[in-house]
Copies of this chain bind each other. A is one copy, B any other.
Amino acid sequence: MQHAALLVSAYPSKRRFLLISRLHAWGETLEEAFEQCAIAMFNYITELELVEVKQVHHVVAQGHDMLSLLFHFLDELLYMFCAEPYLVAKRVKIVEFDRVNFRIKARAAGEEFTIGKHTQGADVKAITYSAMQIHDRPEAQRPELFVIIDI
């Protein structure tokens, strides 16, 4: 074993990498794909098997097009986790999906995040618009979404 301190200078220190974390969700309908995308995000944050359904929180999201609607939908749910009521959603149900005015009303069911009871997964810092894709295909192929998140 060589002395560690002597070796450090020989190692590259400049960061030349990126970590990309992407959510890919789909469903029978676009609503379901949105719901699944939200669950995927919470699944990143903690193991949903350990989350109980104890309370329901209502969220409203408003966009100016479908991409910004998806962004704000996820962002509202992330905010619900990062601030009061600190809720981790095990289930998300869209109760109103207004495609003309780009507005969503949804219910999120779960419980308050509690260290000790719940595991800490990735620290989701933000939703991004980077390479965001929404494929809404009502025919043979299912609707699907791709969202890159900052962790």
Q: How near does chain B come to A42, taking the closest CB pair, in angstroms?
A: 10
Query: Known contacts A4-B109, A109-B11: does B17 contact A24 (CB below 8 Å)?
Result: yes
Contact across chains for A22 and B22 when beta carbons are under 8 A apart: yes
Main secondary structure on A side of the interface with B: mixed
A22 — nearest CB in chain B belongs to which residue?
Answer: B20
CB <8 Å contact, A92 and B16: no
Copies in the complex: 2
B23 adjacent to A36 (CB under 8 Å)? no
Q: Is the CB of A43 within 8 A of B55?
A: no
> Does A53 have its Cβ within 8 Å of any Cβ on chain B?
yes
Question: With A11-B92, A11-B93 known to touch, is A19 a contact of B44 (CB < 8 Å)?
Answer: yes
From known contacts A8-B53, A91-B11, infer whether A24 and B33 are also in contact, taking CB-CB under 8 Å: no
CA distance A10 to B93 in the complex (A): 8
| Interfacial chain B residues near A17, Cβ < 8 Å | 23-26, 36-37, 39-40, 43
Residue numbers of A with Cβ under 8 A of B are 1-2, 4-5, 7-8, 10-13, 15-27, 32-33, 35-37, 39-40, 43-44, 53-56, 91-93, 107, 109, 120-123, 151
